[in-house]
Amino acid sequence: MKTIINDLHKAFESRVRLGIMSALAVNESLDFTALKEYLEVTDGNLASHMKALEKEEFVGVKKTFIGRKPNTMYYMTKAGKRAFEEHLNALEALIKSQK
Amino acid sequence: MKTIINDLHKAFESRVRLGIMSALAVNESLDFTALKEYLEVTDGNLASHMKALEKEEFVGVKKTFIGRKPNTMYYMTKAGKRAFEEHLNALEALIKSQK
């Protein structure tokens, strides 16, 4: 039990962050609006979670232009991918311990 | 995706609460000290999470005596069991969507 909980990453506790990482795991990159609509969260809520994930270096940012309009794309870093996989494995172990 | 995240219960977001519910799911009841040692958390941390789970009526409290010493036992309510199972099912669906 102790081990299972210790293997859960604090950065992924929130539902929204689980959603962000899940979405970025199956899409090479997504922009802010796509993530926001996907997860049905407010700008402020998403922005604060993105900032936290960027700070952990689990998510990277790519600034591009669509025509003249700046566009911010988010992607999952290698460290993020590894940490998220570990987190999912720990969750899986916890679920298995309950069945 | 939206559905998966919406099915995750806010009350179980924290690692410690996942640990509490997991422990209470496989033990009929546990006292404060047992939970604390099991999860390796401080008194204050555990107390605040227990209070939150009690407020949701996911966890119940049974006051007993061991000899003359009062002893507080915690157990999972039926509502708690149902909500926790739904949460685990939602986590399982999220994990499956990643594999």
**pLDDT tens-digit series, residues B45-98:** 999 999 999 999 999 999 988 899 988 899 999 999 999 999 999 999 999 988
Domain boundaries, position A9? 2-96
Range name among A48-52, A56-60, B6-10, B76-80 with the lowest pLDDT average: B6-10
Residue A90's domain is classified under what CATH number? 1.10.10.10
* Angle A29-A35-A40 from CA coordinates, rounded to 5°: 165
The count of domains in chain A is: 1
- pLDDT at B3 > cutoff 70: no
CA distances from A31 to A34, A40, A60, B18, B44 (A): 5, 14, 11, 31, 40
ipTM given for this complex: 0.83
**Do the beta carbons of residue A25 and residue A84 sit within 8 Å?**
yes
Tokens of A71: 């566009």
The answer to whether B22 faces chain A, any CB pair under 8 Å, is: yes
Cβ neighbours of A81 in B, within 8 Å: none
Contact at CB, B1 and A98, closer than 8 angstroms: no
Q: Which residue has the tokens 């926001």?
A: A36
The answer to whether B23 faces chain A, any CB pair under 8 Å, is: yes
Binned at pLDDT 50, 70 and 90, residue A2 comes out as: low
